[in-house]
Structure 1
């Protein structure tokens, strides 16, 4: 192992007390105990951790504790809590999960990556690394003393020694922590909305007590903006351009939904902006919440740059309309009756 010093091995600063020593060992035992870690190197590393733990505890009092007693304490620290007691839990962790409207509509399984902080492998979580060769302390220039007002005091950087045998770990820059990606597969219920929360049991923070269970991961749903759909509660709203002639004629109209295409019946009517509303065809319900409505805003569109064939058809339709003006175009017939009869024709 790269660190033989018991303090470095347990990620402790020199002078750590008994409580800190026990806490550090419990935390590392949860990770390295052979019953919990299938890595072939785990058993040897756990033995080193236990030896470091026993040595540091023995140094806490003159003469130290008997070896058998220290061994029993180490075993108890690594073993689960007694049955019948509620095990301690780690803290819950909260994250946002970004979903498309399609994912939230249909539900399913989604991969989710969490950035975890774990003890740095290079320094064992201590944040320090042992120098191969000692060097003079830059703060006190090797004297071990620094001026404090009018007097001299022991240099805090080197503890008054005048030299350094450790430095901040280059891998973690002294933090003792490293970043690690943890990938989960989260079940998304159909019909989740912006702001809903999903709970993933046991995917939160680890418990730092022996036998403890990890907390939960709580994911807050964030729906990404969509180019077509808009949500009002569970009502799914979209706009669709439609030929003005189709709005006059009526017929079947294909409508895109997040899970496929649905054909709606369009009644013949005026070629003006109007809505189709289908109850229960919007966002799916969850629990006691009912599904929303599908609301389609129809926007009439006239043909652009019609060719000769289209123009001929339009001319025939217009001639037919002129012969039955009062029936099919009453507004035009009324206007012409009011303003055209008494006005002489000009050439």
Structure 2
């Protein structure tokens, strides 16, 4: 298949466009992420198409001379484009054989995602078993009777006796499954990597760790590993809700505190914070604190923090608290037109007017 068509590109695509198209398709078709049985072969085709096109752009044949239609300024401009794409910040050396990128999922807590820091990621590699050199079999020091045919070299089937396939009809075996790899021919050593998480990482973000991906092909001793691409999944939190970069939470508070106002503590992913409540009514209200949400990245502003305060009335009043509440209620009743206007209006209507004469 034509490399341009395979990568979804038009003829004459720049190195930057080629790299971008390959990365997008590699995320979809890499065997580590795509369980489709055809993913391995399709990824190899994508990689081959990428290498063909990028090599043609960055290393054109030396014996190709500009045609008469090409002016010297046009030739220089094309060369400058190639150099710009090659150093576009991807830290990619296209002239060196490179292993495939590896993709892993990482679940982050709200705290780690908001504040950033370093987390440990365990990556399981796939290597050829050195004990059996990838064959999955090891040679026995002494021959053994075949356990399938019990040394006869024959197995009984629907068509009578047939040669035993496990010992090739010999009745004995000289090899067995490799004890180091269980007969798979592969080992799966684990690597622990320290991954730096930028403050303000969101669900769906990707973090690229250079040279921590798959190793280069075995026939390329001078090659370099690919990159490890970590896909961030933000774990749900029992308290916080994220809307874009704005952080929302609900905080129960005494109805009396809502009335009189004052300082109140609020938990945040990065620690506790004191906020000021203005005096008001004992009704639910939302306080907005600019810039106290998720940190912005790549020039984006920080999100805001929205705290919904829900009033809670006291209950299970005991003998110690009851006299104080009685005293408070007495003071409120004396000034009910000011403190309890709804009560004052109701009482004036239904209690302050004498009943009509009979």
Q: Could you tell me the TM-score, scaled by structure 1's length?
A: 0.68
Aligned positions of 1:116-135 closer than 5 A: 116-135=125-144
TM-aligned CA deviation for residue 249 of structure 1? 0.7
Matched, 1:206 2:215: yes
Aligned equivalents of 1:149 and 1:246: distance in 2?
Answer: 88
Q: Which of 251, 258, 263 is matched with 2:269 structurally?
A: 258
Matched, 1:275 2:286: yes
Aligned positions of 1:279-290 closer than 5 A: 279-290=290-301
Aligned equivalents of 1:142 and 1:309: distance in 2?
Answer: 93
Q: Secondary structure at the match of 2:239?
A: coil
Aligned equivalents of 2:332 and 2:238: distance in 1?
Answer: 40
Aligned equivalents of 1:85 and 1:278: distance in 2?
Answer: 48
Q: Which of 236, 242, 249 is matched with 1:231 structurally?
A: 242
Q: Could you tell me the TM-score, scaled by structure 2's length?
A: 0.66
Q: Secondary structure at the match of 1:313?
A: helix
Aligned equivalents of 1:105 and 1:327: distance in 2?
Answer: 46
Matched, 1:300 2:311: yes
Quote the residue 1:106 is aligned against: 115
Q: Secondary structure at the match of 1:254?
A: strand
TM-aligned CA deviation for residue 118 of structure 1? 2.6
Higher relative contact order at CA 8 Å, sep ≥6: structure 1 or structure 2?
1
Q: Deviations over 1:72-107 (max 9, x none)?
A: xxxxxxxxxxxx971222221111112211111111
Q: Secondary structure at the match of 1:226?
A: coil
Aligned equivalents of 2:176 and 2:325: distance in 1?
Answer: 87
Aligned equivalents of 1:343 and 1:119: distance in 2?
Answer: 100
Going from structure 1 to structure 2, the CA distance change for 1:142 and 1:270 (only over 3 Å counts) comes to: same
Aligned length: 261
Quote the residue 1:194 is aligned against: 203
Q: Which of 246, 253, 259 is matched with 1:248 structurally?
A: 259
TM-aligned CA deviation for residue 295 of structure 1? 0.7
Going from structure 1 to structure 2, the CA distance change for 1:181 and 1:340 (only over 3 Å counts) comes to: same
Going from structure 1 to structure 2, the CA distance change for 1:143 and 1:308 (only over 3 Å counts) comes to: closer
TM-aligned CA deviation for residue 121 of structure 1? 4.4
Going from structure 1 to structure 2, the CA distance change for 1:160 and 1:85 (only over 3 Å counts) comes to: farther
Going from structure 1 to structure 2, the CA distance change for 1:159 and 1:237 (only over 3 Å counts) comes to: same
Aligned equivalents of 1:310 and 1:144: distance in 2?
Answer: 94
TM-aligned CA deviation for residue 314 of structure 1? 2.2
Structure 1 range deviating more: 151-160 or 290-299: 151-160
Q: Secondary structure at the match of 1:215?
A: coil
Aligned equivalents of 1:217 and 1:325: distance in 2?
Answer: 69
Q: Secondary structure at the match of 2:112?
A: helix
Q: Which of 305, 327, 333 is matched with 1:322 structurally?
A: 333
Aligned equivalents of 1:85 and 1:96: distance in 2?
Answer: 27
TM-aligned CA deviation for residue 223 of structure 1? 2.0
Aligned equivalents of 1:307 and 1:297: distance in 2?
Answer: 29
Q: Secondary structure at the match of 2:264?
A: strand
Aligned equivalents of 1:198 and 1:260: distance in 2?
Answer: 25
Unaligned runs of 5+ in 2: 1-92
TM-aligned CA deviation for residue 179 of structure 1? 2.7
Aligned equivalents of 1:151 and 1:122: distance in 2?
Answer: 39
Quote the residue 1:340 is aligned against: 351
Q: Deviations over 1:33-80 (max 9, x none)?
A: xxxxxxxxxxxxxxxxxxxxxxxxxxxxxxxxxxxxxxxxxxxxxxxx
Matched, 1:172 2:164: no
Quote the residue 2:229 is aligned against: 218
Q: Secondary structure at the match of 1:318?
A: helix
Going from structure 1 to structure 2, the CA distance change for 1:331 and 1:283 (only over 3 Å counts) comes to: same
